[in-house]
Structure 1
Amino acid sequence: MSLLPALVMLPLSAALASTLLPLRWRGPLGVALAVLLAGVACGLLRTVVGDGPQAHALGGWAPPLGIALVADGLAAGMVVLTATVALPCALHAALGLRGEAAEDGFWPLFWFMWAALNGIWLSADLFNLYVGLELLGLAAVGLVALKGSASALAAAMRYLLAALLGSLAYLIGVALLYAAWGSLALADLAGFMAEAGVAQSGSLTTLVALGLMSAGLLLKTALFPLHGWLPPAHGGALPPVSALLSALVIKASLYILMRLWIMAGPALTPLALGWLLGALGAAAVFWGGWMALRQARLKHLVAYSTVAQIGYLFLFFPLFGVANMDAARLAWDGTLLMLAAHALAKAGMFLAAGNLVLAVGSPHIADLTGISRFRPLSLMSFGLAGVSLMGLPPSAGFTAKWLLLQSALASGQWVWIIVLVGGGLLSAAYVFRVFRHAFVEGPARDRFASPPLALELSALALGSASIALGLVAQAPLEWLRIGSPLATGVP
């Protein structure tokens, strides 16, 4: 029996159930179902590792009439990463939002988000990827608006406009590709483009389509300078929402962009375009790091850190597009490990930041004075996540940067080494800025909140996972290569 339909249908069913059940049951049921779905995700990965890629056509129909789901090593790995991040966030929400007005809307949107993410990781054609993007965007905007404040609603509106504009550009590109090639299946399009090449009459249409789709996906990924909507949305949302958005949601559009890049092949994705994306990524690393260093609010510091960390992932495009096979493979491994490391570390950092803000009763970094004496566990979680973001050994962030550095050396693209090293120094600056305030002894506090231990353990688990992944990185990287078109398509 295929596990692929369950990974989409279970969260959709949970979304429906969470709207019908009494409010007091939604949190415990949400955590229990998250554990179940995490088990299904691990089962899929085990099946792919043991038996190779899996495929399933919902309803027995192939696209465009039906929905084809395909799980190679990359897709299975993303499904497991989603469960790994979502489970601690579900626990944090079940306890942290208990009794709050936002709890009523959180659980349906949380499950719709999870279903959309799994649908994107497993979809095998461009239209179903569009459906997944739309469901994901609407769920994410709703989650941002849950706080209910004027600033949250304004951030949600900006997010909605960016998401709709990105989706419109993507959908126009999908329509153009269908008109040019008569299919939206990724495998079919890759074959057609490889056979026809850029010289055929449909190439201009294809170039325009890919350009529009890429622009829409870049906006959704919040790559500099299209990042304006991200800091207020991520920085102003509830802690588990911020963690989910930064760790998972913005990765979905990048995932699709990488698949498009491989599908089109080198004829339609010249190295100059890869360098442009890499340059924008480098600008994101430095601009995001500098803005994070200047923030007065803790969660906004973490949000601008997301802008910076996204930039590293775009070094994939110039490094992967070279003719050097070894450099391309190193870029592939380094980018995917960086993606996983960022997801775990950033989710842990946002949860830890939320715990610290709850403890001091203030969103400002300056008010963390003396917090190290009261909330050492949350501060430790923040620090573990920071170690991975800085790229210090033995974290997964260090291993990922080491692989990217080796790729840059092997391909002769020395400029990216400056980005990797300089970005790490900026990350250290804003992480240690938080610690500087936390370890300063200030006046004794009259009132001090104590978050439940489970909230602190949720952040600690994710921060620790970002370190542990660096110690066992070889096995996950081998799994991610199984049957993946992104791996076998190395130039």
Structure 2
Amino acid sequence: MLPVAGMVAALPLGARGAERLTFALLPVGLLIAIGTAAATYASGAPLVHLLGHWAPPLGLAFRADGLATAMLLTAAIVIGATALYARAEFGTPPGTPERREALSFWSLLLAVWGAINLAVVADDLFTLYVALELLTFAAMPLACLDGKRETLEAALRYLMFALLGSVLYLLGVALLYGAYGTLDIVLLAQRARAAPATVVAAALMTAGLLAKTALLPLHLWLPPAHAGAPAAASAVLSALVVKGSFVLVVRLWFGVMPGLPAPAAAQVLAALGAAAIILGSAAALAQARLKLLVAYSTVAQIGYLFLMFPLMTAAIASAEDAARAWTGGVLQAVSHAFAKAAMFLAVGLMAKGLGHDRIADLGGAGRAMPLCLLTFGLAGLSLMGVPPSGGFAAKWLLLTSAIEAGQWWWALVILGGGLLTGTYVYRVLAVALTQGNGDTAAVAEPKGQAWVALALALLSVVLGFLPLGAFGLVQIGRLDLAIGGAP
């Protein structure tokens, strides 16, 4: 509720007041996220808050399990770093006139933060629908803050895909409510059975959420929306917004229906993920513009998240493999958030400093903007899965669980995707490290913003140094354990 209250309070305060309020709320929100994670880890059980002290099915519950607390922490860190970075572009120094874009940015940033928080802690399918809508209508304007025709078109395309996803999701919610009389995830996990209404509802809701997550072939809205947005907005869109709907897919499959194994459907989801990895990486490699390359890289990296589904299906994975796949999937979501936010922020600085983002003309960028290029390289290492980064730990967990489960074909996809990622990252670095034509000699790198981006890239790498036992937090509160699934 903190960022939501801040968003409402910021509107009448103007751009300068909204900026100050945002920076006042950032440390408080981070402390709350840290405290929630610490309390969950210490108790070994999810934290549950009943709104109005009414228990489901009459009331609504918020449930902070391991997955939710990991995403709360990630969101607080990424939002904080993005705000620090965006101050140079959307800040309102004393004595300068206020701008509508600045007021919109700070208000929408708080709205995205509140929506992603709600999306990860809500324990009711309709409340999750509300969170999805809040996330869509906060994120969509961020993609077109400059008001240009091409960014407005990209934002409208994003809106149409999002609304289609919302309609499909809501139809599934209605079917589940009609069949079981509740929308609480914990109660549905106990009552749901393999009835036709349940299967149809799961299919509709999954399809709707995939459109919002931009999993191939429903990814057409993502590259133009992310590439055309301001760098700070692109970082939030890629790092957090698409993760909100992914968390809902996970809740649906392993929360609402943990006792209904669907190995064939899980294989289809993973096949779509594999196609996204290969085709998204190939599309990134073919791009002439740097921001579009990074945007198509997001399409590819989203695919890794869906490789965990067949590995988590109890019928085809052992208990140890399922736990390893769960940790790998969550760690991939977190490490990708830090790496991709860092990459978009660094690319934004490079495009602004050089006056373009044409990859072929990046010669000399390494000398002119070394921190930005270092950030791009470190984030790229994590996306490639090079040790000892967080991306390596995530992909290694997915790869080993795939081999142990006898699904070696997913291991080949992970290895092939890493090679393709390395190819397009090397393509950028190879050009940027050349001497160039001397036009970059006068380019000044904004050190403050560059250090913020570098800090996020370093976080994505530092995750790989943590012992695997440190990720035991993400196992807390898995509903498939409570129902009797794989521990």
Match in the other structure for 1:270: 262
Deviations 1:226-252 (A, max 9, x none): 100000011111111111111111011
Match in the other structure for 1:137: 136
Deviations 1:159-182 (A, max 9, x none): 000110000100011011000000
Q: Provide the C-alpha distance between the structure 1 equivalents of 2:258 and 2:71, rounded to a whole number of angstroms.
A: 25
Give the SS at the match of 2:48: strand
- 1:204 pairs with 2:196: yes
1:104 CA displacement: 2.2
Q: Provide the C-alpha distance between the structure 2 equivalents of 1:487 and 1:458, rounded to a whole number of angstroms.
A: 39
Deviations 1:402-434 (A, max 9, x none): 111110111100101110110000000110111
Q: What pairs up with 1:272-421 in 2 under 5 angstroms?
A: 272-321=264-313, 322-421=316-415
Unaligned runs of 5+ in 1: 1-8
Alignment-mate amino acid for residue 270 of structure 1: A
Q: Provide the C-alpha distance between the structure 2 equivalents of 1:90 and 1:122, rounded to a whole number of angstroms.
A: 23
Q: Provide the C-alpha distance between the structure 1 equivalents of 2:375 and 2:262, rounded to a whole number of angstroms.
A: 42
Unaligned runs of 5+ in 2: 93-98
Alignment-mate amino acid for residue 70 of structure 2: G
- 1:188 pairs with 2:187: yes
Deviations 1:368-418 (A, max 9, x none): 210111110111111110010000000011111111111011110010111
Q: Provide the C-alpha distance between the structure 1 equivalents of 2:440 and 2:451, rounded to a whole number of angstroms.
A: 26
- 1:464 pairs with 2:463: no
Deviations 1:166-225 (A, max 9, x none): 0010001101100000000001000002xxx32xxxx11111111110110011111111
Match in the other structure for 1:150: 149
Q: Is the 8 A contact 1:361 1:449 kept in 2?
A: no
User: Would the alpha carbon gap of residues 98 and 42 (structure 1) be closer, same or farther in structure 2, given more than 3 Å must change?
Assistant: same
Deviations 1:106-156 (A, max 9, x none): 111111111111111110110100000000011111111212111110000
- 1:124 pairs with 2:123: yes
User: Would the alpha carbon gap of residues 136 and 375 (structure 1) be closer, same or farther in structure 2, given more than 3 Å must change?
Assistant: same
1:75 CA displacement: 1.1
Alignment-mate amino acid for residue 356 of structure 2: S
Q: Provide the C-alpha distance between the structure 2 equivalents of 1:153 and 1:54, rounded to a whole number of angstroms.
A: 41
Give the SS at the match of 1:183: coil
- 1:257 pairs with 2:249: yes
1:439 CA displacement: 1.0
Q: Is the 8 A contact 2:143 2:225 kept in 1?
A: yes
Deviations 1:423-479 (A, max 9, x none): 000000110111111011122227844353221111101000000011015244111
Q: Provide the C-alpha distance between the structure 2 equivalents of 1:263 and 1:15, rounded to a whole number of angstroms.
A: 31
After TM superposition, the structure 1 stretch with the greater mean CA deviation from structure 2, 132-141 or 357-366, is 357-366
User: Would the alpha carbon gap of residues 227 and 16 (structure 1) be closer, same or farther in structure 2, given more than 3 Å must change?
Assistant: same
Give the SS at the match of 2:53: coil
Q: Provide the C-alpha distance between the structure 2 equivalents of 1:128 and 1:136, rounded to a whole number of angstroms.
A: 12
1:325 CA displacement: 1.6
Q: Is the 8 A contact 1:96 1:455 kept in 2?
A: no
Q: Is the 8 A contact 2:189 2:259 kept in 1?
A: no
User: Which of the numbers 416, 431, 448 marks the counterpart of 1:437?
Assistant: 431
User: Would the alpha carbon gap of residues 487 and 144 (structure 1) be closer, same or farther in structure 2, given more than 3 Å must change?
Assistant: farther
User: Would the alpha carbon gap of residues 98 and 365 (structure 1) be closer, same or farther in structure 2, given more than 3 Å must change?
Assistant: farther
Alignment-mate amino acid for residue 190 of structure 1: A
Q: Is the 8 A contact 1:338 1:400 kept in 2?
A: yes
1:84 CA displacement: 1.4
1:310 CA displacement: 0.6
1:323 CA displacement: 3.9
Deviations 1:51-74 (A, max 9, x none): 332111222334566431111122
Question: When the two structures are aligned, how many residues end up with a matched partner?
Answer: 476
1:488 CA displacement: 4.8
1:267 CA displacement: 5.8
- 1:68 pairs with 2:58: no
- 1:96 pairs with 2:89: yes
